[in-house]
Amino acid sequence: MLVVAKDTIEESSTEYAQGGIAVALSGDDNFRLHQLDTLMAGDGLCFEPAVAALVQEGPGRIEELIDWGANFDKENGEYLRAREGAHSVSRVLHAGGDSTGHEIAGTLWRKAAALPGLSFVSFAAVTDLLLADGAVTGAVAYDQKRKQRIDIHARAVLLATGGAGQLYRNTTNPSVATGDGIGMAYRVGAEVADIEFVQFHPTALFVPGRPRFLLSEALRGEGALLRNIHGERFMHRYHDMQELAPRDVVSRAIVAEMQSTAATHVLLDLTHKPAAWIRQRFPRIYETCLSFGIDLARQPAPVHPAAHYLMGGVRTDLQGRTTIPGLYAAGEAACTGVHGANRLASNSLLEGVVFGARAGHAMSQEAAKPFRGLTFGDEQFPALSREALQDLAWEGCGIARDAAGMQRVLRTIDEGGRQHLSDPGRGDYERRNLATVLRLVAKAALLRQESRGGHYRTDFPGKSPAARHSSLRRGQPTVLLEWETTSPAKP
Ligand SMILES: Cc1cc2nc3c(=O)[nH]c(=O)nc-3n(C[C@H](O)[C@H](O)[C@H](O)COP(=O)(O)OP(=O)(O)OC[C@H]3O[C@@H](n4cnc5c(N)ncnc54)[C@H](O)[C@@H]3O)c2cc1C
Which of 14, 157, 158 has most ligand 1 atoms within 8 Å of CB, for mutation?
14
Distance, CA 176 to ligand 1 centroid (Å)?
9
CA distances for 269 relative to 46, 208, 452, angstroms? 33, 19, 29
pTM of the model: 0.94
Residue range 192-227, pLDDT digits in tens: 999 999 999 999 999 988 888 999 888 998 999 999
The proportion of the chain whose per-residue pLDDT surpasses 70, expressed as a percent, equals 98
Distance, CA 367 to ligand 1 centroid (Å)?
29
CA-wise closest residue to 228 among 265, 266, 178 = 266
Q: Whose CA is nearest to atom 37 of ligand 1?
A: 161
Which of 13, 18, 434 has most ligand 1 atoms within 8 Å of CB, for mutation?
13
CA-wise closest residue to 282 among 73, 19, 97, 18 = 97
Question: Where does the pLDDT of residue 378 fall: very low under 50, low under 70, confident under 90, or very high at 90 and above?
Answer: low
Q: Whose CA is nearest to atom 5 of ligand 1?
A: 17
Number of the ligand 1 atom closest to the C-alpha atom of 308: 53
pLDDT attached to residue 376: 64
Distance between CA atoms of residues 164 and 313, nearest Å: 9
The mean per-residue pLDDT over the stretch 468-485 comes to: 94
The mean per-residue pLDDT over the stretch 66-71 comes to: 98
pLDDT attached to residue 485: 59
Please give the domain boundaries of the chain with CATH numbers for all domains: 2-162+311-364 (3.50.50.60), 206-305 (3.90.700.10)
User: Range with the lowest mean pLDDT among 26-30, 52-56, 177-181?
Assistant: 26-30
pLDDT attached to residue 491: 34
Residue range 438-457, pLDDT digits in tens: 999 999 999 999 999 999 99
Per DSSP, the three-state class of 477 is coil
**93 CB-contact burial (10 Å; exposed 0-12 / middle 13-18 / buried 19+):** buried
Number of the ligand 1 atom closest to the C-alpha atom of 9: 49
Residue range 104-133, pLDDT digits in tens: 999 999 999 999 999 999 999 999 999 999
Question: Where does the pLDDT of residue 246 fall: very low under 50, low under 70, confident under 90, or very high at 90 and above?
Answer: confident
Transcribe 36-49 into DSSP letters: HHHHHHTTT---HH
Distance, CA 146 to ligand 1 centroid (Å)?
26
Distance, CA 84 to ligand 1 centroid (Å)?
20
The chain-wide mean pLDDT, for the chain, equals 94
pLDDT attached to residue 7: 98
Distance, CA 429 to ligand 1 centroid (Å)?
19
Pocket of ligand 1 (CB under 6 A): 4-7, 11-14, 16-21, 100-101, 125-126, 160-163, 172-173, 176-177, 180, 214, 309, 331-333, 346-349, 352
Active site residues: 247
Number of the ligand 1 atom closest to the C-alpha atom of 19: 8
Distance between CA atoms of residues 331 and 321, nearest Å: 13
